[in-house]
A = this chain, B = another copy of it.
Amino acid sequence: MTDIEMRQEDHFDHRSPPSGPAGPGAPRVTLKEIAAHAGVSRSTVSLVMQESPLVAETTRTRVQASAQALGYVYNRGAAMLRSARTATVGVVVHDIANPFFGAMVAGIDDVLQAAGYVPFLANSGDSPARQERFLTRMREQHVDALLLCPAEETPPALIDTLATWQLPCIQLMRHLGETPQGDYVGADIRQGVHDAVAHLVSLGHRHITLLAGDSDHSADRERLDGYRQAMQAAGLEVESRVLRGELTRGAGLQRTLALLDEAAAPTALICHNDLVALGAILALQRRGLRPGLDCAVVGIDDIDEAALTHPALTSVATHPEAIGRAAAELALARIADPQGAPARIVLPATLEIRDTTSTSPRREQESS
């Protein structure tokens, strides 16, 4: 369905300048030159470049040969000026260094490349100002669609702004406003956290603390809802506890250290993401406690490292690559049909049980 827009000269070779002229002041090769060389009109060459089915096979190969021979370089600027499409999709995430997003971007890349689109990646570093600059630039570049994992504190009106820009936007993992406005792809984290709590409760845990993010966006609320709901269902609401803070490994470490110093330390931790969970594990180890034995830890995302670390981390798997793929496919669909009804894709989040939730809590064991 999606038309392939790869061009022949995408496959360049590494021989020195082609047969054509390519000196220091070489005039740029244009469609006109190719047309002359191949004995056709500019229009036909243009059609060949667009992989249009209108041109005859023999003409196509002849034109492609000429383009190759002259060392032609497609001029996106000129194309962009005339046509609405650019075969480019903007991707803005808030923390590219988090392996979760690395995997997600890989999934996005795969789908887009296969469809002849190219991702234009940017890292907002969770700064709304940076994010704005990138979005503006992407609009100037006429990207066909936007995949956005919004920075914290992004004003909810951003989605409306993008709508007036007529720029299709797919929100990933986080969404602005109470319910997702417009297209959204994410994981069912509420359910995942719910399952995690239920699992901990079934092991006998009662004091379960949630290490949440320090700002109030949708991804944070989902975790909180799942947590509260499950604690309530287990009749443990009064013992529930939420700690807010930064979402890095270092912050997770510090927060957990502080937590362990308190009188009523929890027997189990559910962490906003795996980075925080890995920080928590480090904190436990520094205090001479054994994760999974002295205190259970559950992460969220199930990044590769979760299964590798020692002890292996129980985590709610959010399947970043699948989310990236789904989002990219949705973007392509939205480009094809901008007026279609907004989609909200929520992939299941499954609890991967490993060593950090292997046994019942100590206190329970002692009392039994």
Closest B residue to A25 using CB positions: B166
CB-contact partner of A160 in B12, B14, B142, B282, under 8 A = B14
- Shortest A94–chain B CB gap in Å is 12
Closest B residue to A134 using CB positions: B118
Hey, what's the 0/1 contact readout for A69-94 against B, CB within 8 Å counting as 1? 00001111111110000100000000
Hey, what's the 0/1 contact readout for A101-127 against B, CB within 8 Å counting as 1? 111011001000100001111110100
Given contacts A9-B136, A14-B157, A77-B142, contact A105 B96 (CB under 8 A): yes
Which of the candidate stretches A35-43, A303-311, A329-337 sits at the interface with the other chain?
A303-311
- Shortest A78–chain B CB gap in Å is 5
A113 to B133, CA, bound (A): 9
Whether B253 pairs with A155 at a CB distance below 8 angstroms is no
Closest B residue to A155 using CB positions: B14
Closest B residue to A9 using CB positions: B136
Work out how many copies of this chain go into the complex: 2
A82 to B161, CA, bound (A): 30
Closest B residue to A248 using CB positions: B304
- Chain B neighbourhood of A362, CB < 8 A: none
CB-contact partner of A12 in B73, B121, B132, B141, under 8 A = B132
The total of chain A residues at the interface (CB under 8 A) is: 68
- Chain B neighbourhood of A96, CB < 8 A: 96, 102, 105, 121
Task: Give the residues from 268 to 285 in chain A that come closer than 8 angstroms, CB to CB, to chain B.
Answer: 279, 282, 285
- Chain B neighbourhood of A342, CB < 8 A: none
- Summarize A's interface: helix, strand, loop or mixed: helix
A17 at the interface (CB under 8 A from B): yes
Hey, what's the 0/1 contact readout for A235-260 against B, CB within 8 Å counting as 1? 00000000000001110010000000
Whether A73 pairs with B139 at a CB distance below 8 angstroms is yes
A305 to B250, CA, bound (A): 8
Closest B residue to A339 using CB positions: B24
Closest B residue to A137 using CB positions: B118
A74 to B140, CA, bound (A): 6
A99 to B95, CA, bound (A): 10
Known: A15-B157, A77-B141. 15 other contacts (CB 8 A): A10-B132, A16-B164, A75-B81, A76-B141, A77-B77, A77-B78, A80-B80, A96-B121, A97-B97, A97-B99, A106-B123, A121-B122, A249-B308, A253-B308, A282-B310
In the complex, the 6 A-B pairs of residues with the closest C-beta atoms, listed nearest first:
A97-B102, A77-B80, A14-B157, A121-B121, A77-B81, A285-B310
Q: List 23 A-B contacts (CB under 8 A).
A: A9-B136, A12-B161, A16-B160, A22-B164, A74-B140, A75-B140, A76-B141, A77-B78, A81-B81, A96-B121, A97-B102, A97-B103, A105-B123, A106-B123, A109-B123, A109-B125, A121-B121, A121-B123, A249-B308, A250-B304, A250-B308, A282-B309, A286-B310
